Each structure stands twice: as C-alpha cells, then as structure tokens.
Chain A
Amino acid sequence: MKYIWQFALLCLLQALIFNNLNLGGYINPFPYVYLMLILPISLGRVPILFIGFFLGLVIDIFSNTGGIHAAATTLIAFYRPLYLKAQFPREGYELTALPHLKTFGFAWFIPYATIIVVIHHFVLFYLEIFRFQEFFHTLLKVILSSGLTMFFILLAEYLFVSSKRR
C-alpha cells in the first residue's frame, strides 16, 4: 500500500516542482518514472501495465499533454518484465526482492534504470513534437533530460532507501 502514497507523492512532485524546472528549454526531467523502476519484481505483467498507464494518465492530466506520458509509461511497463527476464541472475530473483540499488548493486541498477528512463524520455519527447523536423534538437533534449532524471532517481535511492529494507 505504500506504493499508493508513492504514486500520489511522485505525481504531485512532478506536477508542482519538476514541471516548473526551467533549465534553458532543453532539460525537462521526469523523475516520476522512478515508480515504474521500484515496483516489486514479483508483480504480474498486466497489473504493471495498468499502473504504468494510470501513472502516465495522471501526469498527462496535470500537464495538458493528452496521452503522451501514458503512451511512454505504458511502453516501459511493457518492456520492464522483458528486461528483468533477460537479465535473470544465475541464482534467480528472490521472490520478494525489490529492484533497488542496494539490493542488486551498481552494475545491475544503473543499466536497468538508464535503459528504462531513456526509452521513456525518447518516446515522450518525440511524441510531444510529433515530427522529425527538429530531430537532433529533440535528441539532445532526450539525452540531457534523461541524465537529470537519473540524477534525481539516484538521489532518491540514496536518501530514502535504507539498506535494512533490502
């Protein structure tokens, strides 16, 4: 149930703070995808899809963007179980394991988070602009914004995830 609180908190943070960060028009971080990263591994694929969809939809409502956030989060919700399966550790996942930095270590968490964040931002920014005219401009936005989002995610990992909780 703590995920419901995290859901609400991340949505509000995104709408009230991160949406108002204005860094030269190139960098819009979307740290709300953090929720998609930390959902339990044991969670079924269909529930994850719906959580992703509704998370994106709430952000869309706050930022007047139609369905682009929902489209991007649904895509990463679809991709996440595939990635987790491909990266299956030799000894298998513990059924209750949460995909945190401290559970699996740097070498596992960084690629996992980066791939998902970059896919999300890539889809998001290209859907937002909906044309390839400003291709490299948009690509630069994707890269810079993903970097900042990763920074916030790692910050959250260090600040709020105690090692006791695995």
Chain B
Amino acid sequence: MFFVFLFLELICFSLIVNNNTFHRASVLSSSNRLVGNIYDLNNGITEYFKLKSINDELAVENAVLRSLLNESKYISSSRKLSVTDSVSRQHYTYVPAKVVNNTTDRRSNYLTINQGILQGVEPEMAVISSNGIIGIVKDVSKNFASVISVLHKNSSISAKLADTEYIGSLVWGGGDPKVAKLMDIPNHVQLAEGMLIRTSGFSSMFPSGINIGTVRSFNVAQGDNFYSIEVDLFTDMSSVSMVYVVNNLMRLEQTELEKQAQSDDE
C-alpha cells in the first residue's frame, strides 16, 4: 500500500520534471486532441461574449495594414518601373490562430491555440498578437498547439530598449498579469518612465521590433550593476483572442549555426 503510494508519486515527479524540460512533445498537455476539442467547444460558446472587442481589435489592425498597402501610397513619380524585388526575401510568415484556452493567474501560465502541425505550427515558434508578444509554442498536435505564455516562470525573452542598443531579458515575477520585469540593463543607461521596449530579434523566434511594453518604474538595488525595471505590457494577457504564430523561415539556419559555434567552444 505504501509502495503503491511511493510508486505513483514517483510517476508524478517524473512527469513534473519532464514537463519542465522545455522542448518535449508530451502527450499529456492541452495540445492533446481530446482536450483541445473540449476547449474548442467551450471557446465556441464563450467566444460570442467577446465578439465586440475582437472586432474592434481586428478593425484597428486592418486599418494599420491598409495604410501599408501600395494602393494607399501616393506615387510621386509618374514613371512606373516593374521591379522584381531580389533584395528583400521573405523572412517571416504568419499563421493566424484563435486562443481556445488561457490562464493568467498561475505562476506558470499556458495558452492553447487552435492551429497545429497541419497549419505549419511547430514547437519553438513565437506567438504574437496585434498589440505585442504572447509566448512561445511548446507542444503541437494535428490541429492544436500549447503555448508557453510570457507569464511563465521560465519564460525569458530577449528585449531591447527602443532607440538604444541595450539588450535585456524580459521575465515575469508572478502576480499582476500586466506587469513584467526587464533584467540585465546596466545602471549607467539613461532611463525614463514610458520608454518603449521591443523585441531584440536576437533569438531565432521573435522578429525584431515587436512592441512589448513601456517602462513603468525602475531602480537600482544597492551594490547592483543592473537596473530592476518594471514593464507595463501592451498585451492584456487575460483577454487575448486572436494571435499570430510567427514562422521564421531562416530559423533552422540560424540555430544550426549558433549550435555549431557553441560546440566549437567545448
């Protein structure tokens, strides 16, 4: 009886340890098909209550995108040239997805989205919304994926103070889902409240220049060489519904190269 107990607890702990290793496709997660479908069904019902804010969000985004179209630009030259653009190759593609499950009140939060392998979603891809960053894909099944939220105790995202070249990492200290922390900014940098923070593009996941948030407050602990900075996140993680999965077409190339550089060190 006691051994049965010990045996079951051992299974539990091996599951916990497995779950903490980052890139393991585990069956026991909400990207699992049955669980995904239950969440999808539930989302089908609750979605109606959020339609208005979703519409607003999409409309704003449409407007922004429309302003980027060639049609909405005034061509000042009367001469027209047909140019095949060989300079700018496609670097990122985006898969739109709907959030079907989301938590923000745990110490380690996850989202489940309704796109998976069949739609080209793979582990380690970044997930963003129209406002800012959301997280990183953990596990995928055919039609669903679970996403490690920015609000996760192991989440660490390379971020840059806009208009400077200083890089830090964005982590979450628990509690308020609207506030994260930016670490590793040296204390000689001139900071001001309201400074913009964006992704650095140093990781192979997030494109550079995605908005993250603004500096809310900052201080330097006695004897510390780095600021501790509180960041107001742009994304309201508790109400995300439409997101985009970012597919970095050159990710493999970058990670292979970096891996090689690291193994050369050893």
Binding site for B on A (CB under 8 A): 12, 15-16, 19-25, 27-28, 45-46, 49-50, 52-53, 56-57, 60-68, 70-71, 74-75, 77-78, 127-130, 134, 137
Contact = CB atoms under 8 A, between A and B. Distances in A.
Interface residues of B, number: 39
A138 to B, nearest CB: 8
A74 B104 contact: no
Given A23-B105, A66-B16, A74-B9, A61 B32 contact: yes
Given A60-B28, A67-B19, A74-B12, A129 B35 contact: no
Interface in B11-69: 11-20, 28-30, 32, 35, 38-39, 42
A20 B43 CA distance: 12
A50 to B, nearest CB: 8
B174 interface: yes
Given A66-B20, A75-B9, 19 more contacts: A16-B42, A25-B105, A25-B174, A27-B105, A45-B1, A49-B1, A49-B4, A53-B11, A62-B35, A63-B30, A63-B103, A64-B138, A64-B146, A65-B106, A66-B17, A66-B28, A67-B15, A134-B174, A137-B174
A71 B106 CA distance: 17
Nearest to A70: B12
B218 to A, nearest CB: 21
Contacts of B29: 61, 64
A22 B109 CA distance: 12
B265 to A, nearest CB: 30
B120 interface: no
Interface of B: 1-2, 4-5, 8-9, 11-20, 28-30, 32, 35, 38-39, 42, 103-108, 110, 138, 146, 153, 174-177, 238
Contacts of B1: 45-46, 49
Name the 5 nearest CB pairs between A and B, nearest first: A66-B19, A67-B15, A71-B12, A67-B12, A64-B110
DSSP majority for the A interface?
A: helix
A6 to B, nearest CB: 17
Given A61-B32, A62-B35, A70 B15 contact: yes
A46 B13 contact: no
B5 A49 contact: yes
Contacts of B30: 61-64
Nearest to A21: B105
A116 B75 CA distance: 72
- Interface core residue of B29, B107, B174 (most chain A CB under 10 Å): B107
Contacts of A25: 104-105, 174-177
17 contacts: A16-B42, A23-B105, A28-B106, A46-B1, A49-B8, A50-B8, A56-B12, A60-B28, A63-B30, A64-B30, A65-B19, A65-B106, A66-B20, A67-B13, A71-B9, A78-B5, A130-B20
Given A49-B8, A67-B16, A74-B5, A128 B108 contact: yes
Contacts of B146: 64
Contacts of B28: 57, 60-61, 66
A63 B38 CA distance: 13
B173 to A, nearest CB: 9
Contact of B18 (A15, A66, A75): A66
B4 A68 contact: no
B94 to A, nearest CB: 24
B103 A20 contact: yes
Contacts of A134: 174
A66 B15 contact: yes
